[in-house]
């Protein structure tokens, strides 16, 4: 009987762990920027969204790599947070007044300018 209870416990714990990992999603998308200050601002904006577990922006590639909990946050909210920090993403443009407030070294070329 003890073995049966132990096996039941182990199997139920394994099922819970399997469900927890399925909610974490990985994604990569473009975010415009230039320098280390941009990198810090972009990663901070992404990580400020509850449910984002990992954010790493590559300066030469302009790629943002994310791991986030899809049960807690929609990817659109991450794009909004980053664009509100002054950086265009592959889905959203930063408001012009916020972009214009960035330091000169962070003013990346925009498609519409």
What does the pLDDT look like over 53-96, one tens digit per residue?
A: 999 999 999 999 999 999 999 999 999 999 999 999 999 999 99
The answer to whether 84 and 42 are in contact (CB under 8 A) is: no
| Number of folded domains that form the chain | 1
What per-residue confidence (pLDDT) applies to 15?
Answer: 44
CATH number of the domain within which 40 lies:
3.30.70.100
Helix (H) or strand (E) holding 93: none
Strand spans (E) along the chain: 24-30, 52-58, 63-69
Q: Per the domain annotation, does 92 fall within a domain?
A: yes
Mean pLDDT (the chain) is 87
Q: What is the mean pLDDT of residues 35-50?
A: 98
Residue 5, in any domain of the structure: no
The values of phi and psi at residue 24, to 5°, are -80, 125
In a domain, 39, yes or no: yes
Bigger pLDDT: 94 vs 4: 94
Is this structure's pTM higher than 0.95?
no
């Amino acid at each position: 009987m003890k073995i049966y209870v132990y096996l039941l416990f182990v199997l139920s714990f394994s099922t819970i762990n399997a469900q927890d990992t399925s909610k974490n999603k990985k994604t990569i998308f473009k975010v415009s920027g230039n320098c280390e200050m941009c990198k810090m601002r972009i990663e901070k904006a992404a990580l400020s969204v509850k449910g984002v577990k990992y954010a790493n922006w590559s300066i030469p590639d302009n790629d943002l790599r994310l791991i986030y909990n899809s049960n807690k946050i929609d990817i659109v909210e991450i794009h909004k947070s980053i664009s509100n920090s002054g950086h265009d993403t592959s889905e959203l443009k930063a408001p012009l007044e916020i972009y214009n407030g960035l330091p000169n070294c962070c003013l990346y070329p925009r498609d519409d300018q």
